[in-house]
Amino acid sequence: MSTQVAVVIGGASGLGTAIARALHAEGHTVTVADANLAGAEAVAAACGGTPVAADVTDEAAIESLFTEVLARSGSVDIVVNTAGTSGFSAIADHDVAEWRSVVDVNLVGAMIVIKHAARVMGRGGSILSLTSLNARQPGAGLSAYCAAKAGLSMLTAVAALELGPRGIRVNAIAPGLVITPLTEGIQMVPGVQEDYVENTPLGRAGTPEEIADAAVYLSSERAAWITGEVLDINGGAHLMRYPNIGKHLDAMMNGATP
Ligand SMILES: NC(=O)c1ccc[n+]([C@@H]2O[C@H](COP(=O)([O-])OP(=O)(O)OC[C@H]3O[C@@H](n4cnc5c(N)ncnc54)[C@H](O)[C@@H]3O)[C@@H](O)[C@H]2O)c1
């Protein structure tokens, strides 16, 4: 196993933290970047990595992140972008600025990361993004998130086409429900997690480590012939239906059973 230079963006929390730890455990040098610098510092300290403050919506910050890693480490071999955010509102009531900000982080941010990663990567290497079950399964109230993640799946395919001739592989992981700070809101609404689990053939939510295992594999030479792939990791939830979160929210507000 050769030591490679890895950059995990969104590494301060949840899936990004699990992936940063797993890449470190594989012997790679890890830079932990996040809009939340204090969080990135804590994770980097735990895995002997370097913390960097970087917001994926800020092109200059992402360009300087990659330039700095290249200058410090001599190459950029593995890029994992887990930065993501969500919101909840019906389209008819949706504030457009909020809608735009979800698309900005999840889709435009991913494009900015791929663009500047591609510029500093030589020949070979891996770029991995985190899309979602919601890229293929619609959730009422999640229009911005679903649209952004569906766009990210196609962005992954286009980037794989463009970067293939340089040997750079571009893939994505599409998780189902994994308990992290991002999904804390969902867990506070009675019935949603149960509904999700009932609609999951394997009958449970996932763990950050299960996503990290796949991220390590897809980023490694063992996946040398895999590109343009969006890997569903969701206990089979894509075979069934997405919970109606709005119904559970209404029931919570009105004290009724959905
Ligand atoms: N947890 C799940 O169930 C789940 C399911 C499907 C997809 N995903 C996707 O996986 C990714 C990671 O999710 P998570 O559950 O770990 O979330 P999380 O909220 O625990 O972590 C997200 C991290 O991204 C960072 N971040 C947010 N906006 C940023 C920005 N503009 N620039 C840089 N960093 C930013 C946050 O500071 C945070 O550290 C997201 O893209 C999410 O959409 C998560």
Please give the domain boundaries of the chain with CATH numbers for all domains. Answer: 5-182+206-241 (3.40.50.720)
The per-residue pLDDT for range 165-214, each reduced to its tens digit, is: 999 999 999 999 999 999 988 888 899 999 999 999 999 999 999 999 99
Query: What is the three-state SS of 147-207?
Result: HHHHHHHHHHHHHHHHHHHHCCEEEEEEECCECCHHHHHHHCCCCHHHHHHHCCCCCCCEC
The per-residue pLDDT for range 134-152, each reduced to its tens digit, is: 999 999 999 999 999 999 9
Residue 1 has pLDDT above 80, yes or no: no
Mean pLDDT of 86-111: 98
Residue nearest to atom 29 of ligand 1 (CA): 83
Cβ partners under 8 Å of residue 115, min gap 6: none
pLDDT at 256: 62
Cβ partners under 8 Å of residue 97, min gap 6: none
Mean pLDDT of 79-108: 98
Does residue 39 line the site of ligand 1, with CB under 6 A?
yes
Does residue 77 line the site of ligand 1, with CB under 6 A?
no
Residue 257 has pLDDT above 60, yes or no: no
DSSP 76: -
How many Å apart are CA 73 and CA 107, to the nearest integer?
Answer: 28
Mean pLDDT of 232-248: 95
Query: How many residues are listed for the chain in this entry?
Result: 258
Distance from the CA of 103 to the center of ligand 1, in angstroms?
A: 13
Distance from the CA of 82 to the center of ligand 1, in angstroms?
A: 5
Mean pLDDT of 237-247: 93
pLDDT at 184: 87
Q: Give me Rg for the CA atoms of the chain.
A: 18
Does residue 84 line the site of ligand 1, with CB under 6 A?
yes
User: Mean pLDDT score of the chain, rounded to an integer?
Assistant: 96
pTM of the predicted model as reported, rounded to 2 decimal places: 0.97
